[in-house]
Each structure stands twice: as C-alpha cells, then as structure tokens.
Structure 1
Amino acid sequence: MKKKRLVVLGFLGSQLDKGSRSERWEKWRPTIALTQHDDLVIDRFELLYNAPFTNLARSVQADIGAVSPETTVVPRLLDIADPWDFEQVYAALLDFARDYPFDLDAEEYWIHITTGTHVAQICLFLMTEARFFPGRLVQTSPPRRASSKNPGEYILIDLDLSRYDQLAQRFSLAHAEGIAFLKSGIATRNADFNRMIEEIEHVAIKSRAPILLMGPTGAGKSFLARRVHELKKARHQIDGKFVEVNCATLRGDGAASALFGHVKGAFTGAANDRPGLLRSAHRGLLFLDEIGELGPDEQAMLLKAIEEKRFFPMGSDHEVQSDFQLIAGTNRDLAAEVHAGRFREDLYARINLWSYALPGLAQRVEDIEPNLAYLLAQFSEENASKVRFNRESRARFMRFAVSPAALWSGNFRDLSASVTRMATLSESGLISDAVVDDEIARLKRMWRHGRAPFDGDALASVLGDDGAAQLDRFDAAQLREVIAVCRAARSLSDAGRQLFAVSRAAKAKPNDADRLKKYLARFALEWEQVSR
C-alpha cells in the first residue's frame, strides 16, 4: 500500500516562531522544530497566519526550506482582526476547513496546536474533534536546553470524546446546525420527530453502519437520506456520490445487474461490462428504497457486500470492491416479512442497527404549517415570483389540513403538490379563498377512494345492532368519524392529537389520549374495540 503524504496544519507562532537573524537558530521555534525530527518527514506544511505577520511567515517559510527542503510550505492568510475573539477565529477556521481540498485517501493530516493564541488552539481542538479537520492533534515541546540540533519532542493526541464533555458542549452550535440542515431549516414542532432527527444527526456523524428508514410512501425517506449524505460530505466523512435506487423497479436478472453490475456476455443482451450501482456508490452513500422488494438472491449478495465490501458482478469470477455506506428505506414491516420467510433474517439484523420510523403527515399535523411556509418559499424562489396566502385563505386551508377530513395519504408529496397547484393558480402572487376551496375539493376527490365507507353496519359491529339503533343521528355521525380516525391512527395518543388538533393548542397541558378515552367511555367503548 502506498504511504500517505503527511500534511501539517498549524498557526504561525507570532512570538514563539520569531527571532533575530543572529539568535533565531539558538532558540526553539515550534513550527520550524517540527520539521527537524529525523524520524519525521512532513511533505507539506499549511502555515496559517494573520496579515500583520506576513514578513514573519515568509521568514519561517525560508527557514523550513533550509532545514527540511522536502517540506513544501504553503502560507495561508486568514482574515482575523482580533485573534483573541472566539467568534472571529472560529468563523475563519470554519471557512478554511469547508474550502480546503482534503484528500483522505492520499494524505494524512496533523493539526499543530502548540502555536497561536489560546483561542486558536481551542478552536483547532474543537474542529478536529468534530471532524471539520479530519486529522489528529500534534503537540510539540522544547528541549531542556535550547539547541539548533535538538528539536524537542512531539506527541500525537487521539481524542477520547468521553474525556472532553465540557469542551464538547462548546460545539453545540455545530450540532444544532446539523439538525437544522437535516430538516432543511424547517422549524418542525412534533417533539417525537425532532428527537428522532437529533439522534439521526448524531449517528450520521459518528457511525458508518447501515441506517434503516421506515415509513409510508411520501414520508420523506429519500429526502432525509440525501440530506444525510450532504451532511456527511460537509464533515469529510465521505466524498463519493449519492446513489439512489427504488428496489421495486428492479426485476429478474436486471435487478442483480443494476445493483452489482455484470461482465460482457453474462446473459443475453449483456453486450458490454456494467459497473453497477454499488460500485458507483464507492466512498459515497447508497440509498436502497423499498429494500423489502429485493429478491432472495439479491438479498444474499447485498449482505455479503455490506459485510465484506466486496462482491461478484454477474458472470464474473473476480470479486470487486466498493466501500459505501448504506441507507435502506421501506414501507413494509420487515420483521413481519422475516417471519413470513420473504426477507432474510441475517440481512434484516445487519441493517436494523439504526432504525427509524418516519411518521406520516397525518401523524404530524403540527408540522403542516411550517412545511407549508417552507414549500411556498421554495416555490417562490424557484419561480422568481413571491406567492403568499391572504390571512383568511391561509386560515381556511390550515383548518382543513389539520382536520380528520384531510387524509394526507400521499403524505408530504400530497402537501407539496397541493402548494404547487395553489401557487400556480394564484393571481398576482396571492392565493385566494376560491383557490383554496377548489384545492380542498380536489384533495377530497383524490382521497375519496382511500377511505372505506363507514356505514351503519360497521357502527353496529362496534356497539351491536341494538346499541347502534339507540343512538341519535347526531351522535351516530360523530362517533362514525371518531372511529374512522381511530382505525387509521397508530395509537390512542395519535388519534387524540388528530381529533383535538385545534382545541389542544389552547390548553396548557393537553391530554389528548385522556379526552378520547372519556369520549369513548360515553358509549361504553375502549380503545381496543375501536382501533381494530
């Protein structure tokens, strides 16, 4: 294996690295000394400095050239007016790290933290810990007696995050930025969803293990997978492509060929070699949506590729390699699929280390309003024309959007399409009441086939014929709607949130589940009876 080039990044020591012509070789200067070790060959030194010390930077560059001609010194001027200002130093280093062309395959990075102000040293520590600088810290110390022949000592510091909890807290802003990035800056309000995204952000940065995203079609699995890829790429975790495939579109020999590639002549029609999607995702992220649709052969091949990072293309006797991270998506219950023998248990165990169930839009009604604002702003930006609701039209749409009548069976795809239609039909950039009314009617027609009629016989199946017959027409109509919501909901609390979405906002401590239980008790019913 070819040895990686060693690259050191560090601040110029405005005091420690300077010296007059006559004495500069008699004192210990940490930046120059690091290049003088006999057992250490530094290929490149990225020398960070402020404008007032340009001449010193040139002098240090020349001195390193004299003692270590194999080291290329690259002076890097940073715009820092006050090197003791934490915000200025952090911002300058963050910009530098984001623009720097790190090449982890060919280069190893050491971050020198002996020079620079204490603020600069702290910032370098935190940014290395957070992987903005993908390397190791190096600390240097002088010899007991100053000598041009003794460069002192250096030590590499491997970060044990558990030992630096207090310092890690100072980096909470970057953590919050990562969470906001995964949500595209949408101020979501659903507490369970927000906790889930916070954990996904942590896992995305700290782990390369597969992630399983579960949830109905349109819940945002593909969108979230793409944002995870962009976040990891920004933190130098991966530098390859985002490769997405819907496994439901793969059939027969075409499935294995699309995923794992093939060699020329592997089957009829294989006129040329094909690399396959797994190899295209090398050093990147592979998103396999609807993974439950894969056939048994492809499941076995995928398991080997995940565990060993190598596999056989179709028709080939030679293995190929691909180091990718996997995110799998499904709207199926994979545990049930394993029980039914349709999905491999070992593959399920391998991809189920980090699993997250993305709720549908109907289970996140409090997030409809911020998503509505986001989608409208996105439409305005893409079409270079500002579009907005008036106060009444917005309130009218929101009343419907959070009501039980809004099924949102297509989840965020339905909401996105709805916003696009209303924005397109707006006059002079204003979505009117009439446009909203037409859109509500269109959504109801579109969803009509998705809800089975809940007639008197179904009501009788819960209360019995006699019990149903004794209800007033008003109570019967109300109870039918309540039971319809309960049967479509995931839990008692979820059904309560949907039924009391408007009135709960006025309560300091809403208890939707308790309100629903008391309502059902009026008819001598319990959750288990109506949720079947």
Structure 2
Amino acid sequence: MQIKPLVVIGFVGTVLDAATGPARWERWRPTVAIGMYEDLAVARLELLLDERRFTKLAATLRHDLAQVSPETQVQIHDFHLADPWDFEQVFAALHEFARSYPFDVEREDYLVHISTGTHVAQICWFLLTEARFFPARLLQTSPPPKQRTGDCGSYAVIDLDLARYDRIAQRFARERADTASFLKSGIATLSPAFNRMIEQIERVAVRSRAPMLLLGPTGAGKSMLARNLFELKRSRHDLKGRFVEVNCATLRGDGAGSALFGHVRGAFTGAQGERAGLLKSADGGLLFLDEIGELGLDEQAMLLRAIEDKRFPPLGGDREVSSDFQLIAGTNRDLAEAVLQGRFREDLYARLNLWTFYLPGLKERAEDIEPNLDFELERFARLNSERITFNREARERYLRFAMSVDATWPGNFRDLGASVTRMATLASQGRITVEVVDEETARLGRLWGHSRRGVAGNGHDSLLQAVLGDAIGEIDRFDRVQLCEVLRVCAAARSASDAGRTLFQASREKRTSSNDADRLRKYLKRFGLEFAQVQAAAKALPSLK
C-alpha cells in the first residue's frame, strides 16, 4: 500500500519559534522540531505567519528547516490577525483559510499542528478540525523533559474520530443509552421501532433547537416526553428558562390570544391590566403546545411570527415583546388533512413539520405493556410509600387480558396507569391477587363497553353496510358478526400488518402464523373486500370519526 504524502498545517510560534544566532539550536522550537522526527516524514509544511511583521523569523525558519529536513517543502501564508486573542476573528480567519485551501484527501494526508499560536487559536483549530472543515488529524508536539541540545522532544497524532477510541466510544454509548432511558422515563421498552424513534429524538434534541411535532393518540405520552426533553436540554445547559405546557383545546376567543401572547390594558372588555402571556413566560425555556390542531387561525398566524422572528405584539399593543423559546407541539389530529380543509395554516404546518414523530398507542406496542406495568407499580410505590406486587398467576392473567383484542385501551397509557392504581389501592397485604385482577378487568370491560357498544352496535354495523352494500344480505349472520369485528380492528389500525397482529395474536404466540397481513387480506377477499377500501369507508363515516 502506497503511503500518501503528509502535509502539516499550523501557525508559526512567534515566541517559541523565535530565536537567532547559533544558540537557537539549543532551544526547542516546535515548528523546526516537526522536521526532525525520524518517523514523521513531512512532505510539505503550510505555515501561517504575518510575514510583514516577522520577515526575519520567516527567513530563519526556511533556512533551518532546509537544514534538518531538506525534502520538506515550506510554504508560508501571509496571515494577519489584528487581535490573535479575539475568538470570532481567529475562527473566521481560519474558517476562510480552510474554505480556500485546495485539500486533496485522495492524494494527501493532513495534520493540523496545535502546539503553536494562542490558546484561542488552538481551540479554533480543534473545533474546525472536529467539524471536518480541516479534513485532518491533530499534531501535538512537546519539548523534551530537559532542554538538551538537538533534542526535538516528542509528538502525538490525535484522531478526532472518537469511534477509534474504545473507552471513549463506550462512554459515549453509555451516555446515549442513559439519555434514551431518561427520555423513556426509565421504562425498559421492548418495541424496536419505538426505541429507534427515541434514539432519533435524542439526537435531534441535542443538536437542534428547531420546533418538534409529536403525533399520536391521547394518552400516548406526548406530554411526558416533552417534559423529559426539557429536563434533558436543561441538564446540558441548552435551556435556562421554564417548562410551559398549554392545552390549546382549552383556549377560546380573546382568551386564547391573551393567554398565549398577553395583552395590554383595554385590549378587550375586561382587560383591566396587562398580562405577559405564556409565550413570554417560556422565554429561554421550552413551550409545549398540546393539541395544537385546536388552535384558531388567528392564533396560528401570530404563533408562526413568534417562532420565526422571536418577537410578537401582545393583544391590543403596538410594542413588540421578545421571547426565545424551544417549541414542541403535540396533536392527535391529522394536520395535513386539517390544512386541506382550511382549519390549519399551511405555512405553520410546514414550519412544524421539520421533525415529526409519531408516538404509537398502547395497542400498537403490546410488547411494552409489561415494562409499563412495572413502571406504574414503581410510580405507585414512590407516591404512596408502599410497594405492591402481583402474585404470579394474577400477573399472567392481567397481562393476557391487557394484550388481548378485548383490551382496547382508548386512553392508552393513562388507562393503564389508572388501572394499576386501582389494583394497587385495593390490594391487601401488598399483593395483587387473581380476584383483584378479575374485578379490574371486569371494571375495564364496563368502562369501555359503552363506547364499544356505541361503535360496534352502530358505527361498525354502518361500516359493514358501507363496504358491502346490497351484498350484506347474502352473508350469514354468523359470518356477519365475525366480519364486523374484523372491520372494527381494520378501521382502528395503522396498516394491514398492524390489524393482522391484533387479530391473530394468539396464533402468532404459538408460532403458527407467519404472515398476519396476508391472512387478513385473504379473509377480506372472501367477501370481495380490500384493507384500503375498509379504511377509506371508515374515514367517510361520521360515527367513526
């Protein structure tokens, strides 16, 4: 393998490299030392120096480097800094140098020498190299322990690709895992898709302050995730302000604009004093706008301006106030559909839609019911100073119910939390028994029964009529009951695979089902139906909206 020529870029040390007369060879000079290392063959030295001020130093370095390393080409760039301790000036100058330098990484290797120049210059070298503006490794040279004539000291090459350093890489991997666990409130979730999404959210939260949009049904955990993101960013000193949460569904009329943007005295009837508003309260912090799809169009327009300009006028006022906040929005609505219907501003949706994440409901994360069950028991113990556990049979029975088709979990994790709280409260001697579980599952059946009867008895009968038309009379009553249940599951599912997993869960656990979506399609085909057709019909029925 052919070794590529090595190019070293760095400042000339106007103090360390400056020496004249024969005695200069008794001193350690970092730039000259680069040419003296026997195992470091440097093809070219690119030196940054204000030649107009240091003409003699430049000539001396050229001469001495030619003596110690005649094969090294020396190129001096006239580099003037009015104040070498001004970070902005140094960074801008080195950034411009990097942009204009003709790097050829296919034919040359590069090192950036960081032992010369001010501390500000060394920091800038590091930042620009780490960000790959300089496609290089770092070269650090050091003087000998004792000044010995002709001793060039030592050097070290530092690669900023942290993946090359096992201990550092392991440390960062642990930190990422800890951060992901924190965002999940310490719950050991098992859903691969959900875990991948949390990892993405963590990366976005650390690297970006752009708005984030959290989609998902009520009770899926949007509010908890937003608060955890705030705590994460505050722990990293990215935010200094408060966490402000607003449920936009509670804002109506003049009160909506006043609550969000504040008002001046006399802005509307009853405005007897000034009000700062929640956007101002979130200055320097994080604003979580839950159910943003319920916000009025006027408030949406003002919010867009506040996001983009970080300034907005309070209601009735002409003097703008400023607020720099991180925005997270949540909704269980389809905002794209709301844009088409004219209920949500397209420009605001475009601004929010940069980082969009869907938080699935409990039914879509059956594998995570058990770890969330343990989380809810731990939370009960913290709040009530009493540890409650299941006996083995009771736990198995509750989990079978929780992951069955009969468990609809319309309130998602809120329903699960309330269920655990009831069982833990009713448990005697710290143990949840089979009897307690049976009472709770019966209670959940009654709680969900009304909504299910209303849907299954009306909406899904209507769905059956909508998809079959006159052909409904040709189907046996036995098949009609089964098909109605299948349609109910299809209408609520995100995909054919999701519906298949719900419908054929028992056979999946026995490993007798390999392709749930295909089984579902074949079943529907018996009645001349397709999954997409069922979902389209369900969306068109008012009773299922």
- TM-score class, shorter-chain normalisation, is 0.5 to 0.7
CA distance, structure 1, for counterparts of residue 481 and residue 255 of structure 2: 52
TM-score, scaled to structure 2: 0.66
- In the TM superposition, 1:329-408 aligns within 5 A as 329-408=330-409
User: Is 2:154 the counterpart of 1:185?
Assistant: no
Deviations 1:400-422 (A, max 9, x none): 11111111111111111111111
Counterpart position of 1:13: none
Note if contact 1:218-1:413 (Cα within 8 Å) is conserved in structure 2: yes
Note if contact 1:485-1:499 (Cα within 8 Å) is conserved in structure 2: yes
Question: C-alpha displacement at 1:168, in angstroms?
Answer: 5.2
- In the TM superposition, 1:149-160 aligns within 5 A as 154-156=122-124, 157-158=126-127, 160=130
Provide the alpha-carbon RMSD of the alignment: 3.2
**CA shift in 2, pair 1:280/1:467, >3 Å:** closer
Question: C-alpha displacement at 1:322, in angstroms?
Answer: 0.5
Note if contact 2:335-2:349 (Cα within 8 Å) is conserved in structure 1: yes
Note if contact 1:409-1:450 (Cα within 8 Å) is conserved in structure 2: no
**CA shift in 2, pair 1:285/1:151, >3 Å:** closer
Question: C-alpha displacement at 1:325, in angstroms?
Answer: 0.7
**CA shift in 2, pair 1:228/1:453, >3 Å:** same
CA distance, structure 2, for counterparts of residue 431 and residue 202 of structure 1: 40
CA distance, structure 1, for counterparts of residue 456 and residue 119 of structure 2: 84
SS in structure 2 at match of 1:175: helix
Counterpart position of 2:14: none
Question: C-alpha displacement at 1:396, in angstroms?
Answer: 1.2
Question: C-alpha displacement at 1:27, in angstroms?
Answer: 10
- In the TM superposition, 1:460-471 aligns within 5 A as 462=467, 471=476
**CA shift in 2, pair 1:140/1:432, >3 Å:** same
Counterpart position of 1:498: 502
CA distance, structure 1, for counterparts of residue 438 and residue 473 of structure 2: 34
User: Is 2:429 the counterpart of 1:428?
Assistant: yes
For 1:204, the aligned partner's letter is A
Counterpart position of 1:235: 236
Note if contact 2:214-2:357 (Cα within 8 Å) is conserved in structure 1: yes
CA distance, structure 2, for counterparts of residue 490 and residue 409 of structure 1: 15
Question: C-alpha displacement at 1:500, in angstroms?
Answer: 2.5
SS in structure 1 at match of 2:505: coil
Note if contact 1:468-1:476 (Cα within 8 Å) is conserved in structure 2: no
SS in structure 2 at match of 1:272: coil
For 1:167, the aligned partner's letter is L
CA distance, structure 2, for counterparts of residue 153 and residue 222 of structure 1: 44
Tell which deviates more after alignment, 239-248 or 484-493.
484-493
Question: C-alpha displacement at 1:313, in angstroms?
Answer: 1.2
- In the TM superposition, 1:211-226 aligns within 5 A as 211-226=212-227
Question: C-alpha displacement at 1:270, in angstroms?
Answer: 2.3
CA distance, structure 1, for counterparts of residue 465 and residue 268 of structure 2: 59
Counterpart position of 1:283: 284
**Larger Rg, first or second structure (1 or 2):** 2
Counterpart position of 2:456: 453
**CA shift in 2, pair 1:457/1:271, >3 Å:** closer
Aligned equivalent of 1:167, options 162, 170, 176: 162
Note if contact 2:180-2:198 (Cα within 8 Å) is conserved in structure 1: yes
- In the TM superposition, 1:476-495 aligns within 5 A as 476-495=480-499
SS in structure 2 at match of 1:326: strand
CA distance, structure 2, for counterparts of residue 483 and residue 165 of structure 1: 56
Note if contact 1:238-1:283 (Cα within 8 Å) is conserved in structure 2: yes
Question: C-alpha displacement at 1:165, in angstroms?
Answer: 7.8
CA distance, structure 2, for counterparts of residue 278 and residue 364 of structure 1: 34
Aligned residues: 396
For 1:499, the aligned partner's letter is L
Question: C-alpha displacement at 1:280, in angstroms?
Answer: 0.8
SS in structure 2 at match of 1:364: helix
Counterpart position of 2:3: none
Question: C-alpha displacement at 1:463, in angstroms?
Answer: 5.5
Note if contact 2:213-2:328 (Cα within 8 Å) is conserved in structure 1: yes
CA distance, structure 1, for counterparts of residue 306 and residue 119 of structure 2: 48
Note if contact 2:456-2:484 (Cα within 8 Å) is conserved in structure 1: no
CA distance, structure 2, for counterparts of residue 465 and residue 299 of structure 1: 46
**CA shift in 2, pair 1:466/1:217, >3 Å:** closer
Note if contact 1:459-1:468 (Cα within 8 Å) is conserved in structure 2: no
Tell which deviates more after alignment, 388-397 or 481-490.
481-490
CA distance, structure 2, for counterparts of residue 355 and residue 407 of structure 1: 26
- In the TM superposition, 1:317-336 aligns within 5 A as 317-336=318-337
Question: C-alpha displacement at 1:218, in angstroms?
Answer: 0.9
Deviations 1:403-456 (A, max 9, x none): 111111111111111111111111111111111111111111111232313587
Deviations 1:134-187 (A, max 9, x none): xxxx996269xxxxxx99974522254467784158122222221111111212
Note if contact 2:463-2:487 (Cα within 8 Å) is conserved in structure 1: no
For 2:348, the aligned partner's letter is L
Question: C-alpha displacement at 1:382, in angstroms?
Answer: 1.7
Deviations 1:118-137 (A, max 9, x none): xxxxxxxxxxxxxxxxxxxx
Note if contact 1:338-1:345 (Cα within 8 Å) is conserved in structure 2: yes
Question: C-alpha displacement at 1:338, in angstroms?
Answer: 1.1
Unaligned runs of 5+ in 2: 1-25, 31-86, 89-111, 136-158, 538-545
Deviations 1:258-289 (A, max 9, x none): 11112233333223321111111111100011
User: Is 2:530 the counterpart of 1:526?
Assistant: yes
Note if contact 1:403-1:499 (Cα within 8 Å) is conserved in structure 2: no
Question: C-alpha displacement at 1:381, in angstroms?
Answer: 2.1
Counterpart position of 1:8: none
Unaligned runs of 5+ in 1: 1-25, 31-106, 109-137, 144-149
Identity of aligned residues (%): 61
Counterpart position of 1:85: none
Question: C-alpha displacement at 1:226, in angstroms?
Answer: 0.6
**CA shift in 2, pair 1:508/1:228, >3 Å:** farther
Counterpart position of 1:273: 274
Deviations 1:40-67 (A, max 9, x none): xxxxxxxxxxxxxxxxxxxxxxxxxxxx
CA distance, structure 1, for counterparts of residue 249 and residue 222 of structure 2: 15
CA distance, structure 1, for counterparts of residue 377 and residue 120 of structure 2: 62
**CA shift in 2, pair 1:462/1:270, >3 Å:** closer
